[in-house]
């Protein structure tokens, strides 16, 4: 089994790359989805979030109001740290459970983790793939995707590691500065490098 870390800044396109790898045969473990699962209605995680942030972060049906919570934590570094202290250990445990169920010894297991670098996990994997995008493009995509104004979008970007920090620890970089066709081609090229790494024929020195 080869364990791959896949990361990138918010709105960089890492989810698209992860899905492309899944279609090529990767076992994709999506930490974003697990982060939703561990704070689902009735969960230990949701109870801990409500205890820390109050019932104002709940919707009428008792589920987490992610927009309300986001407005709190992106404006307050200490609050964000508290949220991460609740959610991250639960996500890691859930991720480990999913990985433990992978029976294929030759599987490429791709852990898609938005805050991989921020949480000091860059060297927890056999290789680290970073999806990279220019900061202005990232800002524009985030504003359009999430309906944010520029200040809100910049706050979310600044809450993450810098582009340079991610590139410093990357073993493979996939640029996402063009269209889907180009992104697919670049992902395909890195995928074959990962297969070569698994098979012991990688020549990039990673």
Q: Summarize the annotated binding site for ATP as residue ranges.
A: 11-16
Calculate the alpha carbon distances from 206 to 19, 95, 190 in Å: 23, 24, 12
Q: For the chain, how far is it from start to end, CA to CA, in angstroms?
A: 17
Q: What is the distance, to the nearest Å, from the Cα of residue 84 to the centroid of all Cα atoms in its chain?
A: 14
Largest CA distance in the chain: 55
d(CA 73, CA 69): 6
The answer to whether 160 and 166 are in contact (CB under 8 A) is no
Binding residue ranges:
11-16
């Amino acid at each position: 089994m080869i364990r791959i870390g896949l990361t990138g800044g918010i709105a960089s396109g890492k989810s698209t790359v992860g899905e492309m790898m899944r279609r090529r045969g990767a076992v994709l473990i999506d930490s974003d989805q697990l982060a939703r699962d561990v704070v689902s209605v009735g969960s230990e995680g949701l109870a801990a979030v409500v205890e820390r942030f109050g019932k104002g972060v709940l919707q009428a049906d008792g589920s987490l109001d992610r927009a309300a919570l986001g407005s709190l934590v992106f404006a307050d570094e200490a609050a964000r740290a508290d949220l991460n202290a609740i959610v991250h250990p639960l996500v890691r445990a859930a991720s480990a459970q999913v990985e433990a169920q992978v029976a294929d010894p030759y599987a490429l297991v791709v852990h898609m983790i938005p805050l991989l670098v921020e949480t000091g996990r860059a060297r927890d994997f056999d290789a680290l793939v970073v999806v990279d995008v220019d900061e202005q493009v990232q800002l524009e995509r985030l504003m359009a995707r999430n309906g944010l104004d520029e200040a809100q979008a910049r706050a979310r970007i600044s809450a993450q590691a810098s582009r340079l920090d991610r590139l410093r620890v990357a073993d493979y970089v996939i640029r996402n500065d063009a269209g889907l066709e180009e992104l697919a081609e670049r992902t395909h090229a890195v995928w074959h490098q990962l297969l070569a790494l698994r098979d012991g024929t990688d020549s990039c020195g990673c």
